[in-house]
Amino acid sequence: MTSYQAPTGQMIEHARDAIQGVRGALIELYTAIGANPEEPQEVARQFGLNRNLTWKLSRVMTGAQPFATLNHLPGKQGMDLALQAFRKASAPAESVDAVDRALRSLYEVIEVHAGDRDHFELTLESMGLFEREDRPDSGREQAFRGNSMIWGVQAKTRLSVTFIGPSASPDAVDFVGVAALYGFRRLRTSARWRLFRLQLTDDAGKDLPASSMPEEIDQNRRSDDTPLMLRDFCSANMPPLETHDTPEGREYLLPGGPVGNTGVFDCYFGYIARGLSLKRTPGNEYSSAACSISTPVENLVFDVLVHKDLPLLGNPELALYGFPHGGAEDPSKQTEANRLPMSDEWQELVGSPPVVATPLVPRYTPVMNMVFNRMGWTASAFRGLRLTIKYPALSSRYVARWRLG
Element (H, E) at 243: strand 242-246
Per-residue model confidence (pLDDT) at position 134: 56
Band the pLDDT of 2: cuts 50, 70, 90. Answer: very low
Q: How far apart are CA 35 and CA 26, in angstroms?
A: 11
**Which 3 state secondary structure label does DSSP give 93?**
helix
Task: Return the closest-CA partner of residue 255 out of 199, 186, 197.
Answer: 186
Amino acid at 197: R
Judged against a pLDDT cut of 50, whether residue 1 lies above it is answered with: no
**Cβ count within 10 A of residue 36:** 12
At residue 177, what is the residue type? G
344 has a pLDDT exceeding 80: yes
Note whether 215 and 189 are within 8 A (CB): no
- Give CA–CA dist 379/369, Å, rounded: 8
Is pLDDT above 50 for 8? no
What is the model's pLDDT at position 130?
76
Average pLDDT of the chain, as a whole number:
85
pLDDT (0 to 100) of residue 209: 59
Q: How far apart are CA 225 and CA 343, in angstroms?
A: 40
pLDDT tier for residue 6 given thresholds of 50, 70 and 90: very low
- Most confident range (mean pLDDT) of 13-17, 27-31, 64-68, 248-252 is 27-31
Kindly state the percentage of the chain with pLDDT values over 90.
Answer: 44
Tens-place pLDDT, residues 312-333 = 878 899 999 888 766 555 556 6
CA distance 254 to 72: 45
Q: What pairing do the DSSP bridges indicate for beta strands 193-198 and 242-246?
A: unpaired
Where is 119: in which H helix or E strand? helix 117-126
Nearest Cα neighbor of 57 from 73, 45, 43, 70 is 73
- Judged by average pLDDT, the poorest of 71-85, 198-212, 247-261 is 198-212
Cis peptide before 353 (omega within 30 of 0): yes
Q: What is the pLDDT of residue 126?
A: 67
pLDDT bucket at 364, cuts 50 / 70 / 90: very high
* pLDDT band for position 200 (cuts 50, 70, 90): low
CB 320 within 8 A of CB 340: yes
Give me the mean pLDDT over the 135-155 stretch. Answer: 82
pLDDT band at 36 (very low <50, low <70, confident <90, very high): very high
Helix (H, G, I), strand (E, B) or coil at 397: strand
Structure confidence by residue, pLDDT tens digits, 264-297: 899 999 999 888 888 887 767 778 888 989 899 9
**Residue 132 reports pLDDT greater than 80:** no
pLDDT at 3: 39
Q: What CA–CA distance (Å, rounded) separates 152 from 257? A: 11
pLDDT bracket for residue 334 (50, 70, 90): low
**Which helix (H) or strand (E) element contains residue 287?**
strand 286-293
**What's the average model confidence in pLDDT over 63-70?**
86
Contact 279, 404 (CB under 8 A): yes
Look up the CATH architecture of domain 144-403.
Sandwich (2.60)
**32 or 64, higher pLDDT:** 32
Task: Provide the pLDDT for residue 205.
Answer: 58
Looking at residue 4, its pLDDT comes to: 38
Closest CA to 249 of 330, 192, 182: 330
